[in-house]
């Protein structure tokens, strides 16, 4: 037995270690959840996954068309899970000048005999172009209720700002349409 540390002192140190490690466990459990806002912040910062300010509506933009530059914007639509939906853009691509507002319209049709709530989720490729795509109007900001067999024309008003990196010549704007009827019902009635 070493003289320096008695059993009482060993017991005290053990308890201290246990508490420290338990605290680390709890902290790491919290860290798992903290990764959610961290990830979203990182995505917005870097345009990772094409998610960022382009997801939010911009109240007003200053139009300053740069007529010397032309960028191709492609539109892509996907219906999640092979639902019975028709969802497509009026044009598959258009040439735009940065700094000028354009409108493109999308058609969506519920081909089911029941009411459905839809939600389109946008993504922009390449990621670094995402924060330069400004939208003043988009159906993707809200859930869209559809009556049975209802068809809708939905406009998107957007502008590429002139700070768009010079090496970007093509920007793809993609929308995935989800059936969120259940999700909408849940949030409509609390505890539902």
Partner 1 sequence: MAHAHAHEGHDHDHHGPDKGIMRWIKTTNHKDLGTLYLCFAFIMFFIGGLMSLVIRAELFQPGLQFVDPEFFNSMTTMHALVMIFGGVMPAFTGLANWMVPMMIGAGDLALPRVNNWGFWILPFGFAMLLSTLFMPGGAPAGGWTMYPPLVLQTGNAFPMLIFAVHLLGISSITGAINVVVTILNMRAPGMTLLKMPLFVWTWLITAYLLIATMPVLAGAVTMLLTDKYFGTSFFTASGGGDPVLFQHIFWFFGHPEVYILILPAFGIVSTIIPTFARKPLFGYASMVYATASIGFLSFIVWAHHMFTVGMPLAAELFFMFSTMLIAVPTGVKVFNWVATMWRGSMTFETPMLFALGFVFLFTLGGFSGLMLAVTPVDFQYHDTYFVVAHFHYVLVPGAVFSIIAAIYYWIPKWTGRMYNEKLGKLHFWLSAIFINLTFFPQHFLGLAGMQRRVPDYNVMFTDFNVVSSIGAFAFFISQFIFIGNMLSCMFGKRDGKVPERVWEGAHGLEWTVASPAPYHTFEDPPLVGDNGEPVAAGQTAKAH
Q: Toward partner 1, which CB reaches closer, 64 or 170?
A: 170
CA distance 72 to 97: 9
The helices-and-strands tally (H runs, E runs) of the chain is: 2, 9
Between 20 and 39, how does the x/- string for binding to partner 1 read (CB under 8 A)?
Answer: -xx-xxx-xxxxxx-xx--x
CA distance 70 to 74: 13
**Among 6-14, 59-67, 106-114, 164-172, which window interacts with partner 1 (CB under 8 A)?**
6-14
Between 126 and 145, how does the x/- string for binding to partner 1 read (CB under 8 A)?
Answer: -xx-----------------
**Among 60-68, 120-128, 147-155, 160-168, which window interacts with partner 1 (CB under 8 A)?**
120-128
CA distance 110 to 120: 14
Q: Toward partner 1, which CB reaches closer, 34 or 90?
A: 34
- Of 44, 65, 76, 80, the residue at the interface with partner 1 (CB under 8 A) is 80
164-170, long-range: CB < 8 A, 24+ apart: 164/71, 164/98, 164/129, 164/132, 165/128, 165/129, 165/132, 168/71, 168/126, 168/128, 168/129, 169/71, 169/72, 170/71, 170/72, 170/73, 170/74
Q: Toward partner 1, which CB reaches closer, 117 or 159?
A: 117
Structure tokens at 101: 């507002």
- DSSP label of 49: G
CA distance 7 to 10: 5
Contact set for partner 1, span 157-186 (CB under 8 A):
176, 178-180, 183, 186
Between 99 and 118, how does the x/- string for binding to partner 1 read (CB under 8 A)?
Answer: --------------------
For binding to partner 1 (CB under 8 A), which residues are involved?
A: 1-2, 10, 13-14, 17-18, 21-22, 24-26, 28-33, 35-36, 39-40, 43, 46, 48-49, 51, 80, 119, 121, 127-128, 176, 178-180, 183, 186-187
């Amino acid at each position: 037995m070493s003289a320096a540390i008695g059993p009482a002192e060993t017991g005290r140190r053990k308890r201290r270690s246990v508490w420290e490690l338990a605290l680390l466990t709890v902290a790491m459990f919290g860290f798992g959840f903290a990764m959610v806002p961290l990830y979203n912040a990182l995505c917005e910062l870097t345009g990772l996954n094409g998610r960022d300010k382009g997801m939010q509506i911009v109240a007003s933009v200053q139009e300053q068309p740069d007529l010397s530059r032309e960028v191709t914007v492609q539109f892509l639509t996907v219906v999640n899970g092979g639902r019975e939906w028709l969802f497509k853009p009026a044009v598959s691509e258009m040439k735009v000048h940065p700094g000028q507002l354009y409108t493109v319209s999308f058609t969506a049709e519920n081909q089911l005999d029941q009411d459905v709530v839809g939600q389109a989720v946008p993504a922009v490729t390449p990621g670094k172009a995402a924060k330069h795509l400004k939208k003043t109007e988009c159906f993707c900001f809200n859930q869209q209720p559809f009556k049975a067999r209802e068809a809708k024309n939905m406009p998107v008003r957007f502008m590429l700002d002139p700070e768009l990196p010079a090496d970007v010549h093509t920007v793809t704007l993609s929308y995935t349409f989800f059936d969120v009827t259940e999700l909408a019902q849940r949030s409509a009635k609390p505890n539902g």
